[in-house]
Amino acid sequence: MDSFVENVDTNKEVEKINSPKKEEKSENYSNYEDMKSVTEQISAILTTMPENGTDFSVKKMDWSKSESEINGRNATYQDNSSRASSSDTSSTENEDDESEADSSELDEEDCARRRSQCLDEMTTIEKQFMDIRDQLYRERHTQIMQKLDEVNAGTAPEYLQQLLALETSKQVRMQVSDIYQRLRLNALKTNLEAETQANAQHLKNEKQILMGRIEFDLSEKMHRLEEDRENVDLSNQLWGDGRDLDPIFRKKKKKEEVYPSFSFGGVKRKKKPVTVTGPYIVYMLRDCDIMEDWTAIKRAIVSKRRTTSDKIHRKRHACKYLDGKVIYGIKTFEKGQHVTVRKRGESPTLGKISGINPTEILVERTNGSKAKLYIHQLQRGVYTLQHR
């Protein structure tokens, strides 16, 4: 840019020398205005430059001095031009020609002198600008290197601020992780306790069911054994009484009583007759009739007991599994329904059906434990199921 300005100034000076006097004056004024605008731009650049650790104030003073010198020269040039114009108006035409020739020579010398001065000033300004630019580069390079050293050493403010933010985020994340860990542990402990209670309750229910089955089987076996024992006693009585009624066996028995013999059971003796006092009708009955009546009575008693026990044990409730549902009596139970479970001799239990299969019903109690109800238990009446 400076070389371009110098070329423009040189061309303008050459045109001033070759042009008339009035044109030279106007061009000198325009040249001065251009130089002044350039100097103002350079001064603005210098004022925007940083002044830390530099001698900008001294350079600004030198620039102001050069600017004042230019202004003074411009004033003298204006005075000379005014004097020349006044002398031209007062003299004659011949004198005007001579004065114009003299003034043109003076103007050429003055323009050459001013041109050399302007070129010197421009070179000094360019030199100052280059020095300031180099100094600014060195200062910026020094600042950047210092900042890089601070970053490498870990003492830079920007690094410390970001490090503090990261530490704060780390602390918050650690606190959140601790809270989440405690909550997960509490949830796992709760689930473990619930599963333990459910398993314990399931074991207890299974034990009760097994004990009920065993008791029921044993009671049936005992009942059958009692029936068999009664039947055997009755047959033995009938068989023994028939032998007594037979005259042949009576004779043998009498002979054995008359002629006792030693045996493992001891000495057999003759029984004394038993005297019976009572109505006459008793003595009129025969022994075979009495035994027949007694046998009929015993059979009737045994058959009555058997029918009552069969009614008690064989009384079954209508309960079956159909398409994922349980039909108990006239009611239908599905998964997710709230029910009331009752057992004979115990208080009712509230719960919800959580699963159904062809052999059992899984009930979840209100306390979180689970229990199984088998279909055969509902059929036998061990448990009853009702809607809540």
The stretch 183-198 carries a mean pLDDT of: 94
d(CA 259, CA 292): 32
The stretch 23-47 carries a mean pLDDT of: 57
Does residue 136 carry a pLDDT above 90?
yes
d(CA 178, CA 163): 22
d(CA 214, CA 208): 10
Residues 218, 297 within the same domain: yes
Residues 251, 337 within the same domain: no
Residue that is last in its domain, among 314, 335, 359: 314
Residues 310, 327 within the same domain: no
| 101 within some domain | yes
| 201 within some domain | no
Residue that is last in its domain, among 119, 153, 187: 153
Residues 372, 258 within the same domain: no
Return the closest-CA partner of residue 370 out of 142, 223, 255, 205: 205
Residues 146, 6 within the same domain: yes
Does residue 13 carry a pLDDT above 70?
no
d(CA 274, CA 378): 58
Provide the residue range defining the domain that includes 363. 319-387
Residue that is last in its domain, among 105, 120, 153: 153
Does residue 147 carry a pLDDT above 90?
no
The stretch 135-149 carries a mean pLDDT of: 91
The Cβ of residue 297 has, within 10 Å, a number of other Cβ atoms equal to 10
| 185 within some domain | no
Does residue 159 carry a pLDDT above 90?
no
Q: How does residue 132 score in pLDDT terms, banded at 50, 70 and 90?
A: very high
Q: Which residue shows structure tokens 């024992």?
A: 229
Radius of gyration of the chain (CA): 69
What phi, psi does 339 have (nearest 5°)? -135, 170
Residues 148, 7 within the same domain: yes
Residues 279, 336 within the same domain: no
Q: How does residue 59 score in pLDDT terms, banded at 50, 70 and 90?
A: very low
| 177 within some domain | no
| 74 within some domain | yes
Residues 237, 352 within the same domain: no
The stretch 373-380 carries a mean pLDDT of: 82
DSSP 358: S
| 98 within some domain | yes
Local structure of 339: helix, strand or coil:
strand
Return the closest-CA partner of residue 84 out of 97, 72, 100: 100
The enclosing H or E element of 373 equals: strand 370-374
Question: Six-digit token pair at 365?
Answer: 């109690």
Reported pTM: 0.28
pLDDT at 321: 82
Query: Counting Cβ atoms within 10 Å, is residue 111 exposed (0-12), middle (13-18) or buried (19+)?
Result: buried
Q: Which residue shows structure tokens 């602390």?
A: 171
d(CA 241, CA 324): 63
| 199 within some domain | no
Residues 95, 146 within the same domain: yes
Residues 112, 59 within the same domain: yes
Q: What is the mean pLDDT of the chain?
A: 71
Q: How does residue 360 score in pLDDT terms, banded at 50, 70 and 90?
A: confident
d(CA 204, CA 186): 27
Q: How does residue 182 score in pLDDT terms, banded at 50, 70 and 90?
A: very high
The stretch 168-189 carries a mean pLDDT of: 95
Domains: count for the chain? 3
Q: Distances in Å between the alpha carbon of 245 and those of 242, 285, 289?
A: 5, 14, 11
Q: Which residue shows structure tokens 């979180």?
A: 368
Return the closest-CA partner of residue 361 out of 8, 77, 352: 352
Does residue 64 carry a pLDDT above 60?
no
Give the residue with greater pLDDT, 89 vs 132. 132
Does residue 9 carry a pLDDT above 90?
no
The stretch 144-167 carries a mean pLDDT of: 88
Residues 270, 355 within the same domain: no
| 179 within some domain | no
For position 337, which CATH number holds?
2.30.30
Residues 6, 125 within the same domain: yes
Does residue 51 carry a pLDDT above 70?
no
Residues facing 68 on adjacent strands: none
Q: In this predicted model, what pLDDT tens digit does every residue of 263-305 receive, in sequence order?
A: 434 444 555 555 545 444 555 667 777 778 888 887 777 766 6
Does residue 171 carry a pLDDT above 80?
yes
